[in-house]
Amino acid sequence: MVVVPAASRRALVEHALAERPNESCGLLVLRNGVAERYERGRNAAASPYRFELELDPELWFLEDEGYELAVVHSHLSSPPRPSRTDVENVGLWQGKPYLIYCVARDELAAWTISGSSFEKLALLERDDGASRPGERGLPGAPR
């Protein structure tokens, strides 16, 4: 399961809207399955139909710090499920949480892709209480 608090969702939605008409792509930085933040990547393909994720290389070191990285990209109007191109180009994201945001439906979905097939992954969108300033900026705080 992947938990996406409202702040991370907002960040990835803003990015998807800003990149129109092309697909946006980036990373969710997860700790114990909960997204702590969204990091924008660059779509080197600059295409409305596919993405090639380009990242600040520093982000890869987060894995050494115990974070899990999940790729996120947008679909402008097609449903938020992996396209044939996505499956073919899954590369190192195979077996990891793989998220797609559909701009037209304002819908976020998570998957895992292995080989030529994919499975839906449970996704929980959580109100992170951004209106309560006292609770912000406490990564991994127990609830």
Task: Choose between 78 and 126: whose C-beta lies nearer to Zn ion.
Answer: 78
Distance in Å, CB of 52 to Zn ion, minimum: 11
Is residue 77 within 8 Å of 104, Cβ to Cβ?
Answer: yes
Residue type at position 112: T
Distance in Å, CB of 98 to Zn ion, minimum: 9
HSE, side-chain direction, 13 A CA sphere, residue 15:
25
Our measurement of the distance from residue 47's CA atom to the centroid of its chain's CA atoms, rounded to an integer in Å, reads: 18
Which residues partner with 2 through β-bridges? Answer: 123
Task: Choose between 55 and 83: whose C-beta lies nearer to Zn ion.
Answer: 83
d(CA 32, CA 140): 9
Task: Choose between 4 and 53: whose C-beta lies nearer to Zn ion.
Answer: 53
Distance in Å, CB of 51 to Zn ion, minimum: 7
Residue number closest to Zn ion, CB atom: 86
Distance in Å, CB of 28 to Zn ion, minimum: 16
Residues that bind Zn ion (CB under 5 A): 83, 86
Is residue 111 within 8 Å of 98, Cβ to Cβ?
Answer: yes
Task: Choose between 86 and 128: whose C-beta lies nearer to Zn ion.
Answer: 86
